Every structure is written in structure tokens, then in C-alpha cells.
Amino acid sequence: MPLASTNFKGVIKTVLVTTATLCLSPTVSLAANGRLPGNISPLHYDLTVIPNIEASTFAGEVHVDIDVATATPTVVLNAESLTLDRVTIDGTPATGVTFDKDSQTATLTAASPLPPGHHTVDIAYRGQIEKSARGLFQLDYTATDAPAGGKGGANVSAHMLSTQFEAGDARRFLPCWDEPSAKATFTLSVMAPQGQMAVSNMPVKTDEAMADGRHLVHFQPTPRMSSYLLFVAVGDLERATAKAGDVEIGVVVRRGSVDKARFALETAAAILARYNDYFGTPYPLPKLDFIATPGAGGFGAMENWGAIMSFEKDMLLDPALATEEARQRVFQVVAHEMAHQWFGDLVTMAWWDDLWLNEGFASWMEAKAMDALHPDWSPWLVAMPAMERAKRLDARAATHPVVQPINSVAEADEAFDDITYDKGQAVIRMVEATVGETVFRDGVRRYMKRHAYGNATTRDLFKAVEEAGAKDALRIATDFITKPGIPLVSVSATCGAGNSPKPHKGKKGAKETAPAMAGGGTQVSLRQARFATEPVTIPDQYHLSDRLWAIPVPLATVGAAGGVASSPSHALLTALTGKAAAPGCGPLLANAGQTGYFRTAYTEPAFKALVDHVDRLAPIDQLGLMYDSAALGEAGQMAMSDSLSLVRALRPDADPSVWEQAADYLRDVDGYYAGRPGQAAFRAFARGVLAPVLSAIGWDPQPGQGDKVGLTRAALIRALSSFDATETLTEAERRLAADGTDPTALPPGIRLAVITAVAQHADAATFDRLHALASSTTDALARRQLYGALGAVRDPALAQKVLDLSLTPEVGTTIAPQLILAVADANPDLAWRFVTAHIDAVEATLDQMQRYEFFAGVARRSSDPARIGELNAYAEAHVPATARQGVAKAAGEIAYRAKVAQERLPQVDSWLAALPATH
């Protein structure tokens, strides 16, 4: 049992036996996939933790009630970087404790074999307070010593403690069964310094004053949950609250920042009612806190049940600094993490290979919430770049299935990628669009009720959806989550009365065409294949059906008067080829609405017809056409200039989100031109396309312009400055100079874009002025923006200054990774040489989620094939063999970028040369 609260005198005493003597018993074999033996289940943890921030250590005692299924002489649980000072089993000292570093486990040997039934384990232990976001970690920041609500005061150093346990770092906080399926209840007590607040998953039960001025905070028991969802934070914090039904929603921030959390608080209150209704199971905890911590990490937020933790940059909004992009980001984070309170917390994946059930669903749900509460933000347009990143990764040899085998914590950490999040989101959206919103929602409600407080698999979800009346849901989902890669659907069409196709039988006789259209329509021929930008080896034992998908294909035609002729028809393509019918006549649009996860290939005349009618397409279809033609052009299956022709055909008054993403796409193409002679001609083309759009919307908001225009304005300023647009640069410099040394006087919507444009082209004097501005700024959000802007500088000598600066105390560990990556965008080779020359110092700035991905992230910015060998050499020396997925992805991207530059840009050069002088 934990020591009674009256026995606490500042440390937990270590008694009976030390780690040095607890090394007597042999270790127990783990399952082949690295999981713990399944013979013991935890039921309840009673845990007390006492941090010592001055020593960067903590002491803990935990009492665990366990259930033993089969007789065993040992208890095997997870423990990492912990010293076990006292271990008893059923009140009797353990006869031995051994550690396995590779599996991060401790084996406790009982005095006599444990029969099946209820038992107890008590452990007194010690651990380390980490400097990066894993386990119990410390966050350092600058605060003011002014009294609450007062002004003035000096800047002082301050500290906050927080926890981060996903995927497998609860074992750094307490010895436990640190696996998603090992659900238990937790009762937590934590010692806090005088005047500091402690926050956990549940409300405070009692707060006990100690003789030395500290206080011991006891929290109410949690519901049954996985260990990675346990949370605690301690610091000089304040909390604002709002009620949403019976639930108290709170935002917890460092003192003095509560006003910056108002938007997050209001957003959470609005979302909770909608989620309660959608999931059909009300949020079950009495409170839901959002804890905003200083600094940054390799993740944006963590869905701890009842205590969502995020970094300030993803939760706080300063009205003087916040862009529209920042507002949308906060909304997305709040909506995403709140969705996890059901998908992930209430119902948890059985093992990490089903991580997509958490992340893909939460990514999809954030867009659904935005569509309900901020439809003017066009959430599915906002989601397009993320899904495009997933599609591009999925076309490479280094991709993986959405559901993939996970054999270690390192592999689980690598699974948090674009495939898991964004392909997962796309698959859910595709299934919902195919079976209908109501049916899909009813299936989700069945799933929640059936598996509440338990664990589930992908099959469990889609089986529930099919039970709700969704035909083919499991078949479609299974194909897209178990098979790596993205399909390519090639289409051709003929139009005329009486040509509706006969049903085409695919595998096992399944009909896969749309019903015949009265009065005729457009007959469509479909063919599927895997779209790959690198050679993909398919083992000989795989059958043809293993290489095919069940693909829902929405089909529509563009009417002569404008827009699509009618609602799309849906064909289910399950064989290599198939026939379908689309309503009406006119240019054929496949994947109408872009709900399908596939690339579309048109014949050359069909694509040209769509370009000629691009102003009649919905914005999301304009983007889908742009992204597909860009990907096919880079792969050599179309002319690379076709996507540029499409962008050139867009009207200046096209949807602002389309122009925002088109501007970013042109910047991507410009990246292929780095160091090549055709870059000047391409930039002239890009300026000619984008400058009229910026001129039309203006530098300042106008009456009647929606929120999206602000995002587009900033994107255009960034793009035009990178394309050396003299007028844009001159205006940016004028506006920054007009505001002197107070850039917060710039309108928030263009503030960061203006500063970045000036920094990008800075000379030494301008650089020094911006550097002085960054170093003198005390606001954490403003500092992050200003230092990030410095990283955009093109001049290699000045970029080197930024890199040198990144590892100094002036910048700090939380900003350093962002700064290095910003430099890598403009000077990838310089950044790579820097990080490989300072490996230990750079790694000291990274948390667990970044550690194995960061160096690959720097390398992937390059188009130099020599970088691949250097990256692989780094990985051989510093990255475990089981954690090199990010390295393989980066190597593939470098090779692909080099190939596109070498083989595709000459065609673009010829196309540019043939354009009229004015474009």
C-alpha cells in the first residue's frame, strides 16, 4: 500500500532492498510482437508521486490490484529508467527483480508461485524528470514576478511539470502494464509546491496541506482506461471554466495567459454537445480540461482522458498576433483531441497496429465539427493538403498499410504518420460518402455502446457499420486499410442516348455499375491499377485480387450551362475493369466531390475539356484535378505542364482556398528548380499567375471578404516573395518599416507573412534588426514566430548564423527544431551538414516523437542523390533498425525529387518558352 499521507516528509523512504540486490530471477519470455505475457491483468493502481524539480527526480509508490489468470512464479510488467527500491507481492518481499532493457520490462519473482485469482503488488521506486516530452518532463519558460492581475515586475525563470505517455512512456512514470489493452482504474496523488496547482484526469478529491508548506493533492479515481492516458501537470497555473451540460470544461494555463485560451474554451463547449449527440454516448467524465504547456514538441496535443495536453502554440491565441490560420489550428486541435475522448479513450484500439482507429477517426471528426460550426472555413478544402501528403507517400515504395504490424514502442512511435492520420481520415470519409451519413453514424453509435471502456479492432468498427445497414462497408474499408498503396482509376467516356451499360460482374458476381440512367447518359469505362512513383515489388504468391481494391467511384458530368449536371452516381469497381453510367452529357468528372481515395487518369482530350470548364467545377474538384494531374505529371504519366495549365486557367475570383493551395503548389514546383537555370522563367510565370489574385483581394481586409481570404492573402504574400516579386517585397518592407520595432502593429493576418518575406531576402543589417527584435520579445508565441521567420533567410552566411543560434540558450530547446527545419527549407544542404556535425546537441532538443524522424526530415528537403548515402550512414549509427521507416521515406523522397528535376522539368521549360510573353 502507498505510505499514509501523514508519513510524507519530503521524500518517499527507500527501505528493505535495493535494485542491486533485486536481480535473482530469470526473465520471462515476451510474446513475439514485444507484448507482455497475457496471464496477468491490472485492475486498479493507487499511486503517489513526489517530484523534486531541483534534483530532476521523483519518488513514487504504487499499489496495484491484479488478476492472475494462470499460475505463475513471476509478475512481468513495464518499467523504463526507474529504480525499484522496494517490491512486495501479496505483502511479502519479492525474492528477485530483473530488468530487460530491450523490452523495457521488469520481472518480479514472488516468494511462492501465485495461484489464479486476485493479488497485490506494492512498489516503492524512483525516476528521472525528463527534459523532453516523455514520461514526467520539465518545461522551462520566462515569467514575470508581478502579482496576479498586476503590472510591471521582472522576468524570472519558471518551470512546469507535465506528462506525456503515448505510445509507451507511462513506464517511465510508474511500473505498470503499459499496453492499450491493459485497462485499469487509477487513483493518483501528487505532491505540489506551495501555491502551485496540480491537474490530472479527474477532479481533485482532497487537497492536504503538509507541514513543510507543500500540499498533497488527491484526485478522484479514473474510469477504466489505458495507461497511456494517465496525466498529471504541476505548476504556477490558473484555470478558467465553462459549463456544457453537466460537464465542467476548463482551460489550464501558466499564470497570466488565461485570456489567450478563451477561443479554445468556447470552441470546446460548442463541440461537446455535438459530439454527445453524434456518438450517442455522453461524455462520461465530470470535467474536461485543456492544459496549455509552454514550448513545443514532436506532437501538437495529447488526448489524455479528461485532461487534454497541448503546447501553447496549438491552444492559445493572442488577438494581437493570431492569424486566421492559427484560429483554425486551435479549432482543429480542440476538435481532434475531443473526438479522442470517445475514439481512443472510451473505446481504445486493442494494440498499436490499429492506431488509425484513434487518429484517422479523430482527423475525420475534426473536419466534421468544423463543417458544423464553421462551414465558411470549407473544412474539406482545408483537409485537402493533408490527404494529398498521404497520397504522395502512399505512392512510394516506403509506404505501409494503414493497419501495420507493430512490434515495439519505437515502431509505434513511427506509426504516427500521414498514412495513419490522413489516409485513415480519407478512408473513413470515403466509406461514409458511400453508405450515407445516417447509416455510418448509427454504426458508430453501435460500436461505442458495444465496446465502451474496452478495446476494439478495425473489424469491430466496420462490422457495426454494416449492422446499421451499410452494404460493402467492411469490404471497402478492409481493402484500403490492409493493402499499401493508392489506386489509379483510368476513365474514358462516350455520351449518347440508349448506351447505359449492362451490369458488370466482378469477383463473386458482385454488381459494380451504377443503375441505368433514364433517357441515356454517359457510358464510362473504368480500369484500376496501383499508382506508384517508384518500383513496387509484389510477391509472386499474391493473386490478382490481392492487388485490386473495391473502389467507390463517384461519377458526374459538367453541364453546358455551368456546374455538374446532377448529383454523382456511384460505381463500385472491384475487378480490373468495369463499366458504369454517369448522369447527363458533357465532360466527365470522376471522383466528383473528391470523396474517393484514388488518383484519376483521364485521356488527354477529356482532361483538356475539364480544364476548359474548370470555372464550372466545385472548388474541391478544382483542387482534386490539380493534385492528380500534378502527381501524374511528376510520375511521367501526363505532361508535367498539364497541372500548370490548370492553375493558369483558374479565374482570379476562384475560391480563396483554391488559390491558397495553388500558390503552395507553385512553391513546391519551384523547389524542384533549386539551382537549375529554368528557375527564373518559372518564377516569372508564377508571378504572372498569382500577382493578379493578390491585387484583386488586396493587402488589407475588405468588407464582405470571408475568413478564408485572410489565409489566401498570407499564402500569396509568401509565394510571391519567394518568387522574387519586386512589388510584393517592396510593400512588405514598407509595412514592416512603418511599424518600426513593433511588428505587433501589423495586422495579424499578414504579420508573419510580411516578416518572413523581409527575412527571406534580408541583408546583414536587416537580419540583425530582425534578430534583435526576436531576442528582445518576451511573449512566447511572438518569439516563436520571429525566430521561425529568421530561419527563412536565403543568404547562406546568414542561414549559418541562424543554425549556430539554434543551439544556444537564447533560442532554447523548444524552438531549436523548428528553426533548423526552417533553414532546411531554403538551405537543405547547409542544414544537413549542421545537424550531422552536432548530433548530440540536436538530439538533446528532441522529444521521443521527433527523435528518429527529425534528421530524416532535414535530409528530405534535398534533391541531391548523395544525401541518401549520408542519411543511411547516419541511420546505421544512430537509429535502431526497427525505427528506420522515416529514413526510408526520406530516402525515397530525395531520389524522387532528383528524378523529377532531371526528367520532367525540361518539358516544363519547353512549355514555358512557348507561352505568350504575358502568360
What domains, with CATH codes, occur in the chain?
1-235 (2.60.40.1730), 236-323 (3.30.2010.30), 342-484 (1.10.390.10), 486-624 (2.60.40.1910)
Burial of 588: CB neighbours in 10 Å, binned 0-12, 13-18, 19+: buried
Give dist(CA 818, CA 325) in Å, integer. 18
Cell numbers for 92, please give them. 511479502
Query: So what's the pLDDT on residue 284?
Result: 96
Give, rounded to a whole angstrom, the gap between the first and last alpha carbons of the chain: 78
Give dist(CA 225, CA 348) in Å, integer. 8
Residue 336, annotated as binding a ligand: yes
Residue 302, annotated as binding a ligand: yes
Residue 359, annotated as binding a ligand: yes
Residue 132 near residue 91, CB atoms below 8 Å: no
Query: So what's the pLDDT on residue 885?
Result: 80
- Cell numbers 524528470 correspond to 129
Residues of the chain with pLDDT under 70: 1-34, 144-155, 296-298, 320, 496-520, 536-546, 560-567, 738-744, 848-849, 918-919
Nearest CA to 21 among 112, 93, 114, 105? 93
Residue 215, annotated as binding a ligand: no
Give dist(CA 562, CA 555) in Å, integer. 16
Nearest CA to 167 among 392, 344, 335, 288? 344
Does residue 167 have a cis bond before it (omega within 30 degrees)? yes
Cell numbers for 646, please give them. 490548370
Give dist(CA 701, CA 837) in Å, integer. 46
Give dist(CA 820, CA 739) in Å, integer. 28
Residue 303, annotated as binding a ligand: yes
Give dist(CA 696, CA 683) in Å, integer. 20
Residue 851, annotated as binding a ligand: yes
Cα four-point dihedral sign 690, 693, 695, 697:
negative
Residue 806 near residue 816, CB atoms below 8 Å: yes
Give dist(CA 253, CA 261) in Å, integer. 8
With a CB cutoff of 8 Å and minimum separation 6, the contacts of 146 are 152, 153
Residue 466, annotated as binding a ligand: no
Catalytic, out of 130, 324, 325, 337 = 337
Active-site residue 337, yes or no? yes
Query: So what's the pLDDT on residue 4?
Result: 34
Query: So what's the pLDDT on residue 860?
Result: 86
pTM of the model: 0.86
- Cell numbers 495567459 correspond to 257
Orientation of helix 885-903 relative to helix 905-914, angle to 10°: 40
Residue 892, annotated as binding a ligand: no
Segment (H or E) for 475: helix 473-482
Orientation of helix 707-722 relative to helix 748-760, angle to 10°: 10
Please name every residue paired with 570 in a beta bridge, in sequence order, or none if there are none: 554
Nearest CA to 469 among 515, 510, 437? 437
Query: So what's the pLDDT on residue 742?
Result: 63
Give dist(CA 141, CA 207) in Å, integer. 27
